[in-house]
Amino acid sequence: MHKFYNRKKELAALRVISKNIIKTKGQLSVMVGRRRVGKTRLINEAFDKGDGQFLYLFVSRKNESSLVAEFTDIISDKLGVKFFQPQSLREIIDFLLDYAKTQPLTVVIDEFQDIDIVNPSLFSDIQNLWDTNKREAMLHLVCCGSLYSMMTRIFKGKDEPLFNRDDRFFQIQPLQPSYIAAAMRDNHQFNAENLLTWWCLSGGIPKYLEWLIRFSSDNVPLFESVISEFSPLTREGTHRLVEDFGSEHRVYFDILGAISKGHTSRSRIENFLNISVGVYLEKLDDIFNVITKMRPISSKETSRDVRYAISDPFLNFWFRFIHSNRSAVEMENYEYIRRHIERDFEVYSGLELESLFKAILVESKQFGRIGGYWDAKGHNEIDIVAINDLDKEILIAEVKRRQKRYSEAKLIEKSHSLLKKLNLNGYKIVYRGFSLDNLVDVMDEYHMQTK
From CA 365, how far away is CA 194, in angstroms rounded? 25
Residue 379: predicted pLDDT: 86
Q: What are the start and end residues of each CATH 3.40.1350 domain in the chain?
A: 362-448
CATH of domain 362-448: 3.40.1350
From CA 320, how far away is CA 316, in angstroms rounded? 6
CB 18, CB 106: distance < 8 Å: yes
Residue 317: predicted pLDDT: 98
CB 436, CB 357: distance < 8 Å: no
From CA 71, how far away is CA 216, in angstroms rounded? 39
From CA 401, how far away is CA 424, in angstroms rounded? 30
* Number of helical H runs and strand E runs in the chain: 21, 11
Residue 116 dihedral angles phi and psi, to the nearest 5°: -60, -30
Q: From first to last of its 451 residues, what are the pLDDT tens digits of the chain?
A: 456 777 889 999 999 999 999 999 999 999 999 989 999 999 999 998 767 899 999 999 999 999 999 999 999 999 999 888 999 999 999 999 999 999 999 999 999 999 999 999 999 999 999 999 999 999 999 999 999 889 999 999 999 999 999 999 999 999 999 999 999 999 999 999 999 999 999 999 999 999 999 999 878 899 999 999 999 999 999 999 998 899 999 999 999 999 999 999 999 999 999 999 999 999 999 989 999 999 999 998 888 899 999 999 999 999 999 999 999 999 999 999 999 999 999 999 999 999 999 999 999 999 999 999 998 888 899 999 999 999 999 999 999 999 999 999 999 999 999 999 998 899 999 999 999 999 999 999 998 765 5
pTM: 0.92
Q: What are the start and end residues of each CATH 3.40.50.300 domain in the chain?
A: 8-171
CATH-assigned architecture of domain 8-171: 3-Layer(aba) Sandwich (3.40)
Residue 449: predicted pLDDT: 65
Burial level of 422, CB count in 10 A (0-12/13-18/19+)?
middle
Residue 450: predicted pLDDT: 56
Query: 318 vs 277, 289, 321, 406, CA distance in Å?
Result: 21, 17, 6, 29
